[in-house]
Amino acid sequence: GNLGATTWQSLCLILPVTLLVALVCLLLAKPLNLWILGEDNAQTLGLSIKKTRTVILLTAGILSGTITAFVGPIAFVGIAVPHIAKGIFRTFDHRTLLVACAICGAATMLLCDILSQLPANPIPINAVTSLLGGPMIIWIILKGEKI
């Protein structure tokens, strides 16, 4: 992946999709909060698990496909950042977590991009994200959390 190849023209194409997906994510916050209680409890409280799961998968697919098409694949950010955000904000409320993940993800990517360009010979951004994400995954596994 490479953030350096992103232009204002590509940003104009990415922005509407990102804003639409962000709106859908915010609308999904309450169903996701119900889902934390478990599928059976969420269903008892009126959540359509199948419909919610479909919307989540479509939303995630559209967002990840759009971003990957413009910047390429970037490793570990999608796995590490939500755990970082949960640790910083100490909440399971998705109304907060969705915004926190967006902010932490953007900050993480900017930091990794800056670090990848610091050496005299720039290194791929995946090398920097792997240095962050690899130990994070090991820590999550050792701690016994679900990924």
pLDDT tens digits, residue range 44-95? Answer: 999 999 999 999 999 999 999 998 988 888 888 888 999 889 989 999 999 9
Other CB atoms within 10 Å distance of the CB of residue 46: 8
The residue among 100, 125, 126, 103 whose CA lies nearest residue 114 is 125
What band does 141 get if pLDDT is binned at 50, 70 and 90?
A: confident
Residue 147 has pLDDT above 70, yes or no: no
Q: Torsion angle, CA of 49/65/109/91, rounded to 10 degrees?
A: 0
3-state secondary structure of 99: helix
pLDDT of residue 4: 77
pLDDT of residue 144: 81
Residue 17 has pLDDT above 90, yes or no: yes
What band does 1 get if pLDDT is binned at 50, 70 and 90?
A: confident
- Tokens 């940003």 locate to 11
Task: Select the more confidently predicted residue: 111 or 145.
Answer: 111
pLDDT of residue 129: 92
CA distances from 82 to 10, 26, 46 (A): 26, 16, 27
In tens, the pLDDT along 92-137 reads 999 999 999 999 999 999 999 999 988 788 888 999 999 988 898 8
In degrees, to the nearest 5, what angle opens at C-alpha 34 toward C-alphas 28 and 37?
Answer: 145
Q: Where are the domains of the chain?
A: 1-73, 74-147
Q: Please state, in angstroms and rounded to a whole number, the distance separating the CA atoms of residues 33 and 141.
A: 24
Token duo for residue 122: 């720039």
Mean pLDDT value of segment 39-47: 94
**Total residues found in the chain within this entry:** 147
